[in-house]
Amino acid sequence: MAKQGYTPKQLASMSGVSVRTLHHYDQIGLLVPQRRDNGYRSYSAADVERLQQILLYRQMGLELQSIGELLDAHGYDPINALQQHLAALRKEHARLETLITTVEKTLATMKGDATMTDQERFEGLKAEAIANNEKTYGAEARARYGDKTIDAANAKLLRMTQGEWTDIMELEGAIKEQLRKAMATGDPASAEAAELVRMHARWLQAHWPDGVYSAQSHRGMAEGYLADQRFVDYYDGACGAGATQFLHDAIYANV
């Protein structure tokens, strides 16, 4: 590295991100380089290390604002963060191995070269569903609840029988239908809303480790729904504008 550090073009070439992205990170305060006498940006070795951590967290699905808060938090430990990322990569590797095996068996079965039990098909579907959830929400969930809790939740799902898994998938659809019915009343404290919350509580208890559910945790989840645009899009997209807010209000009215 030159004594004056890397230019944006040099760092972009080395890291694989665009110069425009580096400028954006600078503008939002996520990666702020020093300025040379001529006003040009100069990235130090510490900046390179921070960029690597930013990119690792982006791969894990974290939003830029969350990454900045995490990196700037008091007591942030980059070694521990890297160890967690390594553990996540190993889990992803195991997931891919499971899916590869499932696809190989499926192809062999379709060609008449092997047989595949319904249980084997089912286990592959469970692994894929858990992996998709990890990819979408895993980073935030692990940061908020800890690896131990999330690992226990995933293990609980993997232990489900096919009947239990089918029931919980059907419950997810029924919750959306009940949400539409409750919204039609316009009252978060209505009987329809109370039933909605009971159904939602059963869904949470099925996914969370035993003993974790409480009224407080249920309300905390409701707050999280409103704060995360992905959940707002999920519920509002399925049940209409304002669905996420109504679900939040119903939980607070009935828990």
pLDDT tens per residue, range 205-255: 998 988 889 999 999 999 999 988 889 999 999 999 999 999 999 999 999
Q: Residues 199, 171: contact at Cβ < 8 Å?
A: yes
Mean pLDDT of 177-191: 97
DSSP classification of residue 209? P
- Judge whether residue 2 has pLDDT over 70: no
pLDDT score recorded for residue 51: 93
Residue 195 confidence (pLDDT) above 90: yes
Among the residue ranges 36-40, 92-96, 219-223, the one predicted with the least confidence is 92-96
* pLDDT one-digit tens code per residue, 3-12: 578 999 999 9
CA-to-CA dists, residue 159 to 20, 105, 152, 163, 192, angstroms: 46, 22, 11, 11, 32
Is residue 8 within 8 A of residue 23, CB to CB? The reply is yes
Q: What's the pLDDT at 213?
A: 92
Select the more confidently predicted residue: 31 or 107. 31
Please tell me which residue, 14 or 105, carries the higher pLDDT value: 14
| Structure-block tokens of residue 66 | 């969350």
Report whether pLDDT(95) > 90: no
For residues 18-35, give the mean pLDDT: 94
What pLDDT, on a 0 to 100 scale, did the predictor assign at position 135? 77
HSE value, Cβ hemisphere, 13 Å, CA-based, for 70: 22
* Confidence grade of residue 149 (pLDDT, cut at 50, 70, 90): confident
Please give the biggest Cα pair distance in the chain. 71
- Report the chain's mean pLDDT, rounded to a whole number: 87
End-to-end CA distance of the chain: 58
Instruction: Report, as an integer, the average pLDDT of 156-179.
Output: 89
Q: What is the pLDDT, as a whole number, of residue 223?
A: 93
Q: What is the predicted pLDDT for the residue at 119?
A: 67
Mean pLDDT of all residues in 100-114: 77
Read off the tokens for 248: 């939040």
Report the predicted TM-score, pTM, of the whole model to 2 decimal places: 0.55
